[in-house]
Amino acid sequence: MVARVQHYSRRTTLTAHARLRRRLLLGAAALPFAGSGLARAASSTFSLALIGQCLIRHDLRVRSWPGFAPLARQLRENDACFSDLEVVIRGPREGAATRQLDTVHTAEPVVLDCLRDFGVTFLATSNNHAFDVGTGGILDTMDALRAHRLAFAGSGLTVADAAAPSFQQTAAGRLAVVAAAAGMIREGGAATRSRPGVHELRGGRDGLDASDVERMLESLRRAALEGAVVIAYLHNHLWETDMARTPEWQREFARRCIDAGANVFAAHGAPLLQGLELYRGAPLFHGLGSFIFQTRKAEEAYGEPTWESLVAECRFEGRQFVGAQLTPVSLAPVGEGGPEDLVTRGRPSPATAGQARVALARVAGLSRRLGYRLHLDGDRAVLAAG
């Protein structure tokens, strides 16, 4: 894979060979959509995989497992794959921990190679863990992402830098991401006019600061003018009492992002799946859960939904969303070697038929609360634009 990465125009370019392979596979990938009119001409289609956040503290490749190959193959068949990097990449500027040690998320740069091998091409860096080892950790993470040729959005040397759209160039077109975080950003972690940090949207459980929201909307307008497929991303920790429920202010914020030019809204934060809906033909994924969850917390700290995830493969004609296929993923709540085996805990595999039906039924129920009826098709689901 050949890549060029830079801020405000961070790019990752696919090789012609990889692009041709993906096109040859596209016909087979489109078969589940044939009944809904989504089997379009391959030459005009941009495919984007959205996955849960990646709390990856260890290189999963050191312990092989059957789930890696099929997931990597699935993600790589798309033009781009987007997630959230829920760790700080360790480097020379690492400072003292800014939170309790059992919730400090750091990792060596090798985990970025692991994510690239999975097929991840674009990462959000706007989250509550970006400041776990201080400002130096934010800078080291940005440097490591550039060195590993991964596009990223949501952190920068200034607030303008952190809020700016970032781009990935593929053979099928451009992807742009504007990323932000809301809730649990500790003092010193947010970018300002003179300090590096993450792009924070200040606010509380009733909504977000109007000036911060307008800054993000303006970045989305800029990205749309570039002709890219645009993701509006929010890492939200302003949860409802029931974490599975989507706050009403988030739904309104997501709609405003679409009105400003985004083609899809995606969110992480709560460690489980939330519902999804459509607005003006654009998908709003209010909570994608986790794709990798190498947490050190005790097993009893979480429930069954924490270990469920989805791969959402979205298809666009030009910048127009035409549909998505949702494939459930199952995470390992306990490592192969028992509760103390944190290397294999939380790693993903394709869900079994039974696991898939449970996860999809849960997401379908949450989506109905938002007014959207998700079409279930066995161990997958289809999200249609019309």
Q: What is the pLDDT of residues 42-85, one digit of tens each?
A: 348 999 999 999 999 999 999 999 999 999 999 999 999 999 99
**340 burial type by CB count under 10 A (0-12 exposed, 13-18 middle, 19+ buried):** exposed
Residue 236 has pLDDT above 80, yes or no: yes
What does pLDDT average to over the chain? 90
Least confident of 251-260, 293-302, 314-323: 293-302
Residue 194 has pLDDT above 90, yes or no: yes
Kindly tell me if the per-residue pLDDT of 41 is higher than 80. no
- Which pLDDT belongs to residue 114? 98
Q: Is the pLDDT of residue 23 over 90?
A: no
Q: What is the rounded end-to-end Cα distance, in angstroms, of the chain?
A: 35
Q: Residue 9: what pLDDT?
A: 36
Among all chains, which residue has been given the structure tokens 């990938």? 29
* Closest of 200, 286, 260, 270 to residue 238, by C-alpha: 270
**102 band by pLDDT with thresholds 50, 70 and 90:** confident
Q: Are 292 and 55 in contact (CB under 8 A)?
A: yes
Place of tokens 């990205």: 223
pLDDT of residue 142: 98
Contact 177, 5 (CB under 8 A): no
Cα–Cα separations (whole angstroms), residue 222 to 216, 261, 310, 325: 10, 8, 30, 29
Position 35 scores a pLDDT of: 30
Domain boundaries, position 362: 2-384
150 pLDDT above the threshold of 80: yes
Distances (CA, A) of 385 to 26, 176, 278, 314, 359: 19, 21, 8, 10, 22
pTM listed for this prediction:
0.89
- From the list 381, 291, 299, 338, the residue with the least C-alpha distance to 54 is 291
Measure the CA–CA gap between 117 and 2, rounded to whole angstroms.
Answer: 14
pLDDT digits over 341-353, tens only?
999 999 999 999 9
Radius of gyration, CA atoms only, the chain:
19
pLDDT class for 29, splitting at 50, 70, 90? very low
Q: What is the CATH number of the domain that holds 258?
A: 3.60.21.10
What is the pLDDT averaged over residues 21-40?
Answer: 34
Window from 113-127, 215-229, 288-302 with minimum mean pLDDT: 288-302
For residue 367, what pLDDT band results from cuts at 50, 70 and 90?
very high
Contacts of residue 173, Cβ cutoff 8 Å, sequence gap at least 6: 46, 79, 227, 228, 229
Q: Is-contact 346 324, C-beta < 8 A? A: no
33 pLDDT higher than 70: no
The structural domain count of the chain equals 1
Provide the pLDDT for residue 208. Answer: 97
